[in-house]
Structure 1
Amino acid sequence: MHIVIIGGGLGGSTTAGALRDQGFDGDITLVAQERHLPYDRPPLSKDYLSGSSSFDDDVVLHPRSWYDEQRISLLLGRRATTVDPQGRRVTLDDGATLEYDKLVLATGSTARTLDLPGADAQGVHTLRTREDSDAIQAEFGEGRRLVVIGAGWIGLEVAASARGAGTAVTVLEHEELPLLKVLGPEMGQVFADLHVEHGVELRPGVEVTEIVVDGGRATGVRLGDGSTVEADAVVIGVGAAPDLELPRAAGLDVEDGVLVDASLRSSDPDVYAVGDIAAHDHPSYGRLRVEHWNAASTHPATAAAALLGGDAAYTDPPYFFSDQYDLGMEYVGHAPQGSYTRVVTSGDVGKREFVASWLDGSGRLLAVMNVNVWEGLDDLRGYVGSQESVPEETLQVMSQG
């Protein structure tokens, strides 16, 4: 059997490893569009961007020798251009073809940009690749002015790294608070206060109309009220879009992601999808697509088991983490704005040492976020996504501290 994996990021590399771990002895080909060995992306906006970690030692997932030892044919710098499910064939950008028995799509996401005048000027950046991170880091420094458009996770992490390098930072956000759609106003305010305390000029509720350009390079950002925020560089951090070109052209069922069942199998029984692009059938949350590291790292075990004939289902709740200044956090579950009734906190929010719990009207726990608290969370997390109401005493995980 020959299994082809398209996508050289965490999802693709981990799928290849999971197949070997689960006893697959056939052929594996991993097609990676970038010329780098497969690497982890979260450090690009965290430790690697701040200069505190090495790409080769800390960001690359495995050395080249690992792929050789695992008998994984790694095609670097190669792009899949078409998938033919009927012929079970993948065509690459040089015209070569790969015949497959099973196919795994792990194409990930691309950084969203803005349709604005000046968005393609020098000094305007998005963040998705190592090269993007290197280019942004080169803009940091004392006396430098960085404008970040978007107060989501990427925008805020870039802002934190830039401030750590002494850069003057302004964050522009359309909503009234950072992370509003993800965390709601209660916890969005925590991150607003965090960045203001660290010297970021946070400007919520603004409209960006143009990136001002002089001599081909960005020099500022113009707002809807006509004012201009001066800048030496601009980072557009307005989210990511799943890379669905291949599965859509191949005729797979696609909406905002590749529609897959609980085993990550697509509408074609020989094609699977993992990571950012997989809109999977979750037992607690229904149809769900998650653009976070955890999906790319945990989907592959389920997909590999199903590929090899097992009765596999992916049931993990969504998980993500962030590090900004002295704040470290983890979030488990799914509680977008409008889905919850109340937020219960345990600990000291002002000191940013607390646990926040999002509950619906029946007392069911939708999500938990721990901020600078790392122990004693198992009982509480056990209720995430459950149909059982969580006891009030369980919510107070900090009461014994």
Structure 2
Amino acid sequence: MLNPVLEITLTHVQPDSGSTAWLLAASALVLLMVPGLAFFYGGMVRVTSVLNMMMMVFGALAVFMIVWVLIGYSLAFGTDHGGVIGDPTQYFGFQKLLDPANDGAYPGLIFAAFQGLFGAITVGLIAGAIADRTKFGTWLIFTALWTVLVYAPVAHWIFASQNGHGGWLVDHLHVLDFAGGTAVEINSGAAGLAAALVLGKRIGFGRDPMKPHNLTLTMIGAGLLWFGWFGFNSGSALAANHTAALVFVNTLLAGCAGLLVWCLVERVRDGHATSFGAASGVVAGLVAITPSCGAVTPFGALVVGGLAGAICAVAVGLKFKFGYDDSLDVVGVHLVGGLIGTIAIGLLASTRATSVNGLFYGGGADQLWRQALAALVTFVFSFAVTAALAWILDRTVGFRIHEDHEASGVDLVIHAEAAYELHMSTSSRGAPRL
């Protein structure tokens, strides 16, 4: 007769070490996207709100992850209720995930952390739409509520595949979204638009120049985002396998195509290609390939990235035409890029990469309408709920800072700090010192 301890060891399925190692590494890469986003956004704002912008990104990470552990993960990945939401108490405090007997090919703990970092980035993206005019404390409250009311439900719809009994988009409508075109990109873009409309325009919008104060920071941020995006997309394969390799290559190519095409549009339209455009083009390509990276061939990735670079380069100017103040082009890049990537699956999906063919590969329009419906539903839901949430917070605790404080500078008023000490001081020997 076997020793009881040995018997347990033989019957328990050990997680695959390769998959576990890859998920650990991918999670660390996604975490790196948080400071990457902080640099990217921090360089784009005016000098008087750099620290506030970075604090909003880091603050979103802290609040989101705590809410995620308590209830968010359960809502997103708990046992399905009607295809709409998960069991809200199933994974409270990650207690159920502590038992190794519940692990599969990888520990449930690292999967939960990996998915949580997705959501933290999503909320951080929204911050760019309301830069230069937001109360930090209210932003943290907004993050907590938005996690529960918006992100977790949408994540359940598209990520919680439970053998036909999971989220309605993935298990019933059979929408393809490899790494978050709906839950991350369209979701954050729609929410950013709603929040920007509720808070209103910055003082001087459309009249005063509001150029990025430090494009070096923005370029560094774009590089860190690109690096981290390989964990974001390839990590979603949940294994170190052929799919992860395909996604890695597609992510690389889409970023390259987005950069070059955005710069080409600038060159033709404005007479010069800019570093700001290059950084934005990289992100646009990466946004668009996020949902489609596991569904298209490398050639398809070049098409997706190129389309995003061209269309998003034009879309960022729509805020001036329609009069909404999306400070850092969350709508023009993330909403538009997410729509491009999500819908492009219905056109460019290939059975050499996924389970269906898109319209251009002889698959007809069946997958196309599914992708378009998912994009539309995500936009409407996120926009409506975010608008209501932002409006309630603005009318109760106040979401936008006072106009006088906005003119003085958000960093000094809210954080009592300045990003740069530019005044001259005098050393002990009397020599001027910067």
Indicate the TM-score class for this superposition, using the shorter chain for normalisation.
under 0.3
Higher strand fraction (1 or 2) = 1
Q: Taking structure 2 as the reference length, what is the TM-score of the superposition? A: 0.24
User: Bigger relative contact order, structure 1 or 2, given CA contacts below 8 A and separation 6+?
Assistant: 2
**Structure with the larger helix share:** 2
Q: TM-score with structure 1 length normalisation?
A: 0.26
